[in-house]
């Protein structure tokens, strides 16, 4: 087992949890990415959009901050930052696959009122039954999808 | 002040994604691939986030209102409906195909590639589509 990536995962998870707590403590909002940004783009709610936009800017600028800190944070983040200081991985497929996947992710999180952050991180922390059901559902479907793609269609890798 | 609080939340969230390696779809797909060389990292990310936030929420909810808002805005619904379960199932398929859930996909804009841009455009289209599908009461 790769303990360094597990520890990085734990450290990153704690940061994500702190972000969710921070957003609730300061603005009283659930830190759900699909909710915050989906509503910003599709509804642009009056008087309720500015913090969504700055949240989006924070989210986008964070990998840049990691890259800028490159060397220093490299010690902390270890393998998450590769030799070139890159923290963003390559997409898993081409444009056609990503169009299908993106549509499913957008439609699914829109209909299901949340994603890994809203249902997974925040909902589970609130012991919400709806979020538990949603989280189990998308985890199971994602595991089945990967199994089919890699081991049924792909013939095992 | 609200906008600054929002920026800090987004920044810390994105740092968490980057530090934990969740902006690398290979890592996420490695977790979802139980039959392959299983990568447990995502379990630690979700576990660390939920435990931290569980404790954090308990402390925060001792207050009657957020620091810069009138009230805590929490979902109140308790029912399980087809929209929730069907939507989550569709999301799971898309997540399994791409290794991207919305947070990591958006946080990866700093390293744009054509497939990522396609993913984001389609995701936004999906959000509009979801709004266009009326909720049955």
* B12-39 residue pLDDT tens: 999 999 889 899 999 999 999 999 999 9
B100: which 2 tokens? 């991207």
Q: Rounded to an integer, what distance in angstroms lies between the CA atom of residue A115 and that of residue B42?
A: 15
Q: Which DSSP state fits A27?
A: H
Q: What parts of chain B have a pLDDT lower than 50? A: none
Nearest CA in chain A to B38: A1
Interface contact flag, A9 B36, Cβ < 8 Å: no
A44 neighbors B26 (Cβ within 8 angstroms): no
pLDDT at A157: 47
- pTM, entire model: 0.92
Note whether A52 contacts B89, CB cutoff 8 Å. Answer: no
How far apart (Å, rounded) are the C-alpha atoms in residues A14 and B37?
25
State residue A78's pLDDT score.
Answer: 40
Q: CB distance B56–A99 less than 8 Å? A: no
Q: DSSP character for B135?
A: P
A109/B130 touch (CB, cutoff 8 Å), yes or no: yes
> In the structure encoding, which two tokens stand for residue B39, read together?
């990568």
Q: Nearest CB to B13: which of A16, A34, A139?
A: A16
Residue A76: per-residue pLDDT: 40
Who contacts A41 (Cβ-Cβ below 8 Å, separation ≥6)? B124, B127
Each residue's pLDDT tens digit, A45-68: 998 999 999 999 999 998 778 777
Residues 6+ apart with CB under 8 A from A116: A33, A135, A138, B46, B95, B101, B102, B103
Q: Which residues of B touch A1 (CB under 8 A)?
A: 40
Q: What confidence category does residue A81 fall into, taking pLDDT thresholds of 50, 70 and 90?
A: very low
ipTM (interface predicted TM):
0.95
């Amino acid at each position: 087992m790769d303990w360094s990536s597990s520890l990085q995962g734990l450290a990153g998870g704690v940061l994500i949890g702190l972000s969710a707590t921070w957003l609730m403590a300061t603005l009283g909002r659930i830190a759900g990415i699909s909710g915050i940004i989906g509503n910003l783009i599709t509804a642009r709610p009056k008087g309720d959009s500015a913090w969504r936009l700055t949240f989006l800017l924070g989210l986008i600028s964070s990998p840049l901050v990691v890259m800028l800190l490159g060397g220093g944070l490299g010690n902390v983040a270890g393998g998450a930052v590769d030799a070139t200081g890159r923290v963003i991985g390559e997409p898993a497929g081409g444009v056609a696959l990503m169009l299908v996947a993106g549509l499913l992710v957008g439609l699914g999180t829109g209909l299901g009122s949340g994603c890994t952050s809203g249902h997974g991180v925040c909902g589970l922390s609130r012991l919400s039954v709806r979020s538990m059901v949603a989280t189990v559902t998308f985890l199971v479907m994602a595991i089945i999808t990967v199994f089919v793609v890699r081991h049924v269609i792909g013939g095992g890798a | 002040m609200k906008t600054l609080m929002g920026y800090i939340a987004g920044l810390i969230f994105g740092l968490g994604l980057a530090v934990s390696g969740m902006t690398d779809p290979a890592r996420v797909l490695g977790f979802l691939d139980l039959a392959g060389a299983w990568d447990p990292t995502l379990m630690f990310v979700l576990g660390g986030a939920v435990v931290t936030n569980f404790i954090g929420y308990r402390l925060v909810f001792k207050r009657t209102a957020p620091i810069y808002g009138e009230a805590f805005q929490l979902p109140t619904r308790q029912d399980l409906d087809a929209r929730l379960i069907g939507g989550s199932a569709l999301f799971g398929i898309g997540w399994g195909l791409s290794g991207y859930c919305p947070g990591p996909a958006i946080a990866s804009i700093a390293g744009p590639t054509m497939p990522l841009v396609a993913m984001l455009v389609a995701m936004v289209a999906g959000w509009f589509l979801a709004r266009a599908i009326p909720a049955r009461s």
